Structure 1
Amino acid sequence: MKIPTILLALAAQSQAALRFGCSTLTIQRLDPLVEPGRAPSSHLHQIVGGNAFNATMEGDVGERGTCTTCTFSEDFSNYWTAVMFFKHPNGTYHRVPIMQNTALPNGINGGMTVYYTQQDFFNNGNQKITSFPPGFRMVVGNPGIQTAADAQKNPGYPGLKFVCLQNKGTRFPELAEFPTQPCVGGIMTVHHFPSCWDGKNADSADHQSHMFDTQVGAFQAARACPASHPVRMPQVAYETLWDTTQFNGLWPAGSPNPFVLSYSDEHGYGTHADYLFGWKGDSLQRAMDSNCMFQACENGNPLKSQGVAQMNACTVDTVVNEETDGWLTSMPGQNAMA
């Protein structure tokens, strides 16, 4: 795993920061947070992490998982997002493949990059960072936001962005909606979760109210937590790289963005992500209490880690058996959403 030079220079004065890869566990219509017990759920997700994942998940997931697709073998959490499709001018759809981030070990099967930072990349604001409790879960974003006007009325998601990649190392500029022209290196979706907790509830009815967002931008120093949500937790973020390049030749000049998220969002305003905590025992707390950064946290320092072959070998059963590859007349679940 490569670390930017600026991070190497500042690592000595840093608090812990985790940045690691997770290969794809499954791509299915399952959503145990928003639609527990429903199979199929309304739209397609890419899920990474522990193999306890199922349509219904309660209790301490970290005690039930037996393998994980993530670098850290003590992390049985699950992380998931909507899937991206290309919409052909003839009306058919094709799922966009997921690329490995260039800074991760070679051979990872799709997946995403996951971050657990503190106040920002380089410090924790001189405060204790509290690990999530067993059973904790949260959602960021709202798939019901489908227009620019709705987005302006709901500005509470500063960490949900798109990046038009020149290469896999591109990080800026961040866009609030899909790029409007072909991207030579693909498209990255970015999901930053809130990190201020009410200190009481592992979940809430909307899966969001128990958390409060004080971030001002990607990996920048966050504001202090409010009295209503006083406990600073790790800043969780996902980066997913979509190989849209193979469709650039099918994007007619002057036509609108042809990419769509699996809940029929052609603009990206409703982009969202789900998190279900499943670190085993006190492993995440030990990491947050340390001064390690990125791959320096691996190999027992203080977290146990595993190789790419073990990550890719972890799987779950297919609960919803439907076609998700090749050219499709509609996206999975699309007719039900119409």
Structure 2
Amino acid sequence: MLRFGCSQIVIDRIDPLVNPGQLPSPHLHQVVGGNAFNVSMPSQDISQLASCTTCSYSDDLSNYWTANMYFRARNGSYKRVPQIPNRELFQDKFTAQTKGGFVVYYVSPGKGQVTAFKPGFRMLVGDANQRSKKGNGLKSQTCFRCYSGANWKGDDAAPCQDARLDTEAFPTGPCSGIRSNILYPTCWDGKNLDSPDHKSHVAYPTSGPALFTGSSVGSACPSTHPVKIPQIMLEIVWDTTQFNNKADWPADGSQPFVLSTGDNTGYGQHGDYVFGWKGDSLQKLMDDNKNCMGSACGGLKAQDAGKANACRVSGKVREEWEGWLDKLPGMEGMPM
């Protein structure tokens, strides 16, 4: 397992995967990774276009992005919910100063058992337009966990597998923090680096979404997607503590959080990915068969957090997305 922090490189209303060339795109995203991120991104080796990254490992010039989370107050105004680094995972000099952003996991069942992504590879998990439960629910590709006490109790349990801890929809009560997890597919058709929906070229194992742990290590890929690829998981911890006063919540007592897509259910949580690791560095990491966190791994070294945080992309859309807002960016027609 490889896990590392990535600071935000930009918060902006652009989406080079789903809405390439569209400025602005329909909703706001938080973005981490390399500085090649732009309104459109060519389907070539992104690592050759970026000169820096906000991620702990300087060889990872990929981009990862998700919707932002907002709090909607009883008076109808919105405020962005900040992110915080994930507990004790990042307490060394490389990662303790991660600014916003989230944690990225790459998981492999062992040496020689996965094929690293190729230059030009990209994919999407989740559906920004989903607003209701599909199928039987957990095991799920995305989930939320409500921390109910100090020290984020229950943080170590596997995500999106336990209905006692995780929900596909937003938690309904106050939390000491809300954790989002997004689990990407682990099977590839072996041919296409992308597909029109950015999903069809990849698939989950026949057993469904799960981390490569325990029995899932041997999970078979469907015959249509026979090639095992590294499992990517995004983990975002939202600091909701400043929004726990229920007097500020909707008058009917319903949960007050909303994604920047306008989704107040949470079912529309999604994540985008454009591969950008240098050379064969990711393949070496997956074959290294070690747990790596903010230190040398597979021949790589973590970069100092100050250098990572200095990497930036200029925002393309000039609009307010911070502080108290009358409406979400791009959601002019959304009712107050």
* TM-score interval, smaller chain: 0.7 to 0.9
Question: Does residue 71 in structure 1 map to residue 56 in structure 2?
Answer: yes
Cα deviation, residue 230, structure 1: 0.6
Aligned mates of 2:270, 2:21 — CA distance in 1: 20
Question: Does residue 273 in structure 1 map to residue 256 in structure 2?
Answer: no
Q: How many matched pairs? A: 312
For 1:313, the aligned partner's letter is A
Secondary structure of residue in 1 paired with 2:118: coil
Select which of 264, 273, 292 maps to 2:290.
292
> Which string of whole-angstrom CA distances, capped at 9 and with x for unpartnered residues, describes residues 139-173 of structure 1?
0001121123xx239x6972200010233463351
What residue is the counterpart of 2:312 in the other structure? Answer: 315
Aligned mates of 1:301, 1:289 — CA distance in 2: 8
Flag structure 2 segments of 5+ consecutive residues without an equivalent: 158-164
Aligned mates of 1:134, 1:156 — CA distance in 2: 32
Using structure 1 for the length normalisation, give the TM-score: 0.87
Question: Does residue 259 in structure 1 map to residue 264 in structure 2?
Answer: no
Secondary structure of residue in 1 paired with 2:243: helix
For 2:204, the aligned partner's letter is D
Percent identity between matched residues is 47
Question: Does residue 224 in structure 1 map to residue 220 in structure 2?
Answer: yes
Structure 1 272/92 Cα, relative in aligned 2: closer, same or farther at 3 Å? same
Structure 1 210/317 Cα, relative in aligned 2: closer, same or farther at 3 Å? same
Aligned mates of 2:209, 2:193 — CA distance in 1: 24
Using structure 2 for the length normalisation, give the TM-score: 0.88
What residue is the counterpart of 1:41 in the other structure? Answer: 25
* 2:142–2:270 contact (8 Å) kept in structure 1: yes
Select which of 164, 180, 183 maps to 2:146.
164
Runs of 4+ in 1 over 2 A off after TM superposition: 166-172, 215-220, 250-254, 298-301
Cα deviation, residue 31, structure 1: 0.5
What residue is the counterpart of 1:10 in the other structure? Answer: none
What residue is the counterpart of 2:238 in the other structure? Answer: 242
Cα deviation, residue 226, structure 1: 1.6
Question: Does residue 61 in structure 1 map to residue 59 in structure 2?
Answer: no
Structure 1 331/292 Cα, relative in aligned 2: closer, same or farther at 3 Å? same
What residue is the counterpart of 2:9 in the other structure? Answer: 25
Aligned mates of 2:60, 2:26 — CA distance in 1: 27
Structure 1 216/55 Cα, relative in aligned 2: closer, same or farther at 3 Å? closer
Question: Does residue 152 in structure 1 map to residue 148 in structure 2?
Answer: no
What residue is the counterpart of 1:84 in the other structure? Answer: 69
Cα deviation, residue 109, structure 1: 0.3
Select which of 186, 189, 204 maps to 2:180.
189
For 2:264, the aligned partner's letter is E
What residue is the counterpart of 2:122 in the other structure? Answer: 137
Cα deviation, residue 217, structure 1: 3.2
Aligned mates of 1:156, 1:141 — CA distance in 2: 14
For 1:293, the aligned partner's letter is N
Aligned mates of 1:245, 1:288 — CA distance in 2: 37
What residue is the counterpart of 2:34 in the other structure? Answer: 50
What residue is the counterpart of 1:326 in the other structure? Answer: 323
What residue is the counterpart of 1:212 in the other structure? Answer: 203
Select which of 203, 206, 213 maps to 2:194.
203
Structure 1 209/252 Cα, relative in aligned 2: closer, same or farther at 3 Å? closer
